[in-house]
Amino acid sequence: TKNSMLRAAAAEVATKHARLATSALHGVLAVNKPPGISSAGLLDYLKRNIGLDSSCFPFSEHFAREQKLRAPGTKLKRPHSMSQLRVGHGGTLDVEASGVLLIGINRGCKHLDKFLKGGKTYLANNCLGVTTDSRDAEGHILNLSNTKHVTHEMLDGVLPQFVGSIQQTPPVFSAIKMGGKRLYEYARKGQSAPEEIKARTVLVDQITVTHFENPGHETSGRRVALPRGVSEYFAQGRY
């Protein structure tokens, strides 16, 4: 109808004005990335929607689409973005991780390196005795070990060997580039990396166990209250 055509034209004009306005935006944002979406996926959403108002694409729908993109064997790709906005992120958070992701907008991208020189603090919820092919909660379980004998004291005795300047070999499920591809691209196809993955020097200042629980045997420390959304995420059988 004529009215619907007018509304569509008005929406298109409003979107173009919003896109023009974003070209004047410059700065760095601290975005709280939720678990379940990649850093690149979140960046894609921001690039498409910064500066928009009522025409902003619902994040829940974008989140669901990103999960489909990551499904094994999928051939789907992100649709091309017409946005002229330049965006970038400082550092990368794993898909299953939640936390602060620094986003640069236009000239703000030049300042992202300034924020990568400081230390970082992580809060992790770990399950002992489980081995996966990706070395995290996303992979397929390869082995389950009996951990009934493990105590808080035993754990405290082992952790010091992971503190200080240590050598750490990245898993094949990582974003490191090798042979023109990300390592996880080889892993998802069941292929081996084209060359040996070299260990890297990692500096760990401190590791503290705030809460330890071995069901039916020992419970110690103080359980850290996770944000509601994060606690619900871990309650879905993740670890």
Q: Is 205 part of the annotated catalytic residue set?
A: no
Nearest to 42 by CA among 66, 18, 23: 66
DSSP 39-84: HHHHHHHHHHHTT-STTPPPHHHHHHHHHHHTSTT----PPPP---
Q: Given 94, 113, 156, 205, which residue is catalytic?
A: 94
| Contact (CB, 8 A) for 81 and 22 | no
CB atoms closer than 10 angstroms to residue 207: 14
> Is there a contact between 16 and 44 (Cβ–Cβ < 8 Å)?
no
| Residues labelled catalytic | 94
